Structure 1
Amino acid sequence: MKGFIKEDSAAPISTGTDVSLSSHDEDQGSKLIWKAREAPFVSIGMAGLAAIVAYGLYKLKCRGNTKMSVHLIPMCVAAQGFVMGAMTLGTSHSVYKEFWAKPKP
């Protein structure tokens, strides 16, 4: 019959020895702290995004008779601009550390 796999061509079965890819187990908090130390501008971008969204939600409550889109579009642009600025600064910082801050041999 076509479409059936022969038993001798099947993939080998695991022998029960499980090899973990990481050397130790980490919880989410330690992963977040490690990532924040590795790339601090990502954390700054996320915090700025959260602050802008919180401010926008606060201002949404007291917007009066203005349309929703008039309120949300500038908030969206501000959030995207803050995140892009943090990414640009992070990239510039890493390029500086990699190429210009190295001692000359």
Structure 2
Amino acid sequence: MSTNTDVSLSSSDEDQGSKLIQKAKEAPFVPFGMASFVAIVAYGLYRLKSRGNTKMSLHQIHVRMAAQGFVVGAMIVGMGYSLYREFWTKPKP
């Protein structure tokens, strides 16, 4: 009895980079939301040293809420875009 543990990848399996590119073509606002999230977190870290008398926890809450707001906003705009593309731009039979 032989056990073959060699697992070959089929052509349908893709690496993570090509999956991200494919998803970005389908929904272009998702990468925008991800980039906005990273930019706001980076800005929050940059502003951390000049926050003045604001408590650390309050500063973190504000940065988190701004980042989440941009991501949720990008998701809503992306859903609206896909609905527009699916229902209004499709030719009627």
TM normalised by structure 2 equals 0.79
Alignment of 1:35 with 2:20, yes or no, is no
Could you list the per-position Cα deviations for residues 58-101 of structure 1 after superposition, in whole angstroms to 9, with x for gaps in the alignment?
00122233211221111111111100100000000111111111
RMSD: 2.6
* Equivalent residue number for residue 54 of structure 1: 42
Match of 1:48, as an amino acid? S
Where structure 1 has 5 or more consecutive residues not aligned to the other structure, the ranges are 1-12
Taking structure 1 as the reference length, the TM-score comes to 0.72
What do residues 13-61 of structure 1 show as CA deviations (whole Å, max 9, x unaligned)? 9985x78674255333223222222221110110000000000000012
Gapped runs of 5+ residues in structure 2?
none
Which one has more relative contact order, counting CA pairs under 8 Å at least 6 apart?
2
Matched, 1:23 2:11: yes
What's the secondary structure of 2:91's corresponding residue?
coil
In terms of fraction of residues, the more helix-rich structure is: 2
Q: Distance in 1 between matches of 2:24 and 2:2?
A: 37
